[in-house]
Structure 1
Amino acid sequence: MATPSDSKPTYIYKLIPSSAPPPDPLPDRLPVSDLDQTSGFIHLSTSLQVPNTLKFFFKDDPRAYILRIPYDPIEKSIKWEDPKAEACGPRGGEGMFPHLYNEYKLGRDEVESVQTLEKGPDGSWDSALKAAEAWLTY
């Protein structure tokens, strides 16, 4: 059985803070976050990275929006790097994130579906992640 470090993901994910909800319907191009603009690429996560991305970067948000993006159509524009784009490594390896280098083109043509995750009454993402488990597939 293939493990994530040696297999290609089916989907990768873009997390968006509650302060910047994605328009419905999605436009051809979503607005680019300050972080992505500064970095020169769109930060993405695998399903296995989503829980820690939420816990570290969205700890003060009551909700987050997650865009599910089929991997195959954008694979040629993905580089697997550490969060600061300083090192390349194996696909999906520990600490290696998918970064999208395509002139910030992320919108209705790339995104398959959107989920809204709400923090639980305990202030954690655990119940939301459990509820989204079937949707958050590698």
Structure 2
Amino acid sequence: MAALDSHPRYIYKIVPSAAPVSEPLPERLPVSQLDQDSGFVHLSMATQVANTLKFFFKEEPLVYILRIDYERVKQDVRWESPDGKVCGPRPGEGLFPHLYNGLKLGKDEVESIAVWQNEDGWNKAINGAETWLV
């Protein structure tokens, strides 16, 4: 477990199309099997979203990107290396934010939602979200 010297403004949760996210958000969204098995919510910084999409969501037709104001959850975030059994090594990406708050992610944590479509890869969606993905 480690802390960053400089914290991001936002951290992000990627949700596959099989678990649609609608507004208004509930108090608690359904938890993925990966998060349930890990005991925490897997999140990414803006700089990690592209590779997370390409690695885990390559075949997804669309995803929901949940933007979380870091200040809302910082007391429950641990900065950790991804678990090799779960994620596999991804050199150069550094530590990932993991949310340890009893697997609660909902209206109190999520600042906004974007829906991205996979159009022959994620580059178009990522490039179109440069001002939102900060």
Per the normalisation by structure 2, the TM-score is: 0.88
2:122 aligned partner: 125
Helix, strand or coil: the match of 2:124? helix
Q: Does 1:98 align with 2:97?
A: yes
| Percent identity (aligned) | 57
CA contact (8 A) 2:66 2:112 kept: yes
Residue-by-residue CA offset, 1:46-82 (whole Å, 9 max, x unaligned): 0000000000000010111100000012101000011
Structure 2 CA distance, aligned partners of 1:85 and 1:62? 26
Helix, strand or coil: the match of 2:36? helix
Structure 1 CA distance, aligned partners of 2:127 and 2:53? 13
Residue-by-residue CA offset, 1:92-128 (whole Å, 9 max, x unaligned): x8331000000011100110100001112xx110010
Q: Does 1:134 align with 2:131?
A: yes
Give the alignment of 1:55-134 within 5 angstroms: 55-84=54-83, 94-120=93-119, 123-134=120-131
Helix, strand or coil: the match of 2:46? coil
Query: Offset at 1:85?
Result: 8.3
The number of residues matched between the two structures is 125
Amino acid in the other structure paired with 2:55 = F
